[in-house]
């Protein structure tokens, strides 16, 4: 069964608004979660590493003020897309690993459409 839950699965928002995406690890604690983004017909790209109790680590080219990450507990990380624009429309996926050296488990992703 699913080990990582992501919500919502789809969201449509107007340009300029903010959207929050939740990622939960089910029945295990994840001190680290990862946020990926996939544009159509492209590979998944790591956006940032979410660390429980500390600041997220962003990959080069990802705006930390635009993509706010909060890892408030050992089972929940949130990604907030602030002041969304149409070019932010994408498929956002979170992931976590159950134990060290186990494969990453992915959530089902969130399809964000900004109109």
Partner 1 sequence: DQQVKQNSPSLSVQEGRISILNCDYTNSMFDYFLWYKKYPAEGPTFLISISSIKDKNEDGRFTVFLNKSAKHLSLHIVPSQPGDSAVYFCAAFANAGGTSYGKLTFGQGTILTVHP
Closest approach of partner 1 to the CB of residue 11, in Å: 13
How far CA 80 is from CA of 30, 70, 99, 105, in Å, comes to: 19, 8, 26, 21
Tell me if residue 86 falls in helix, strand or coil: helix
Residue 4 touching partner 1 (CB under 8 A): yes
Among 6, 75, 78, 90, binds partner 1 (CB under 8 A): 6
**For partner 1, what does the binding mask look like between residues 16 and 45, x meaning CB under 8 A?**
----------------xxx------xxxxx
- Strand 19-25 relative to strand 90-97: parallel, antiparallel, unpaired? unpaired
In which region does residue 113 sit, left (phi positive, over 0), alpha (psi from -120 to 50) or beta (all else)? beta
Q: Which residues bind partner 1 (CB under 8 A)?
A: 4, 6, 9-10, 32-34, 41-46, 49, 93, 95, 97, 100-101, 103-109, 111
């Amino acid at each position: 069964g699913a080990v990582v839950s992501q919500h919502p699965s789809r969201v449509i928002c107007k340009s300029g608004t903010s959207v929050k995406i939740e990622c939960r690890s089910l029945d295990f604690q994840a001190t680290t979660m990862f946020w990926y983004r996939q544009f159509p017909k492209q590979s998944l790209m790591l956006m940032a590493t979410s660390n429980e109790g500390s600041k997220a680590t962003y990959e080069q080219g990802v705006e930390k003020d635009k993509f706010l990450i909060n890892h408030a507990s050992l089972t929940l990380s949130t990604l907030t897309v602030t002041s969304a624009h149409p070019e932010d429309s994408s498929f956002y996926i979170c992931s976590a690993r159950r134990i060290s050296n186990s494969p990453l488990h992915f959530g089902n992703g969130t399809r964000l459409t900004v109109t």
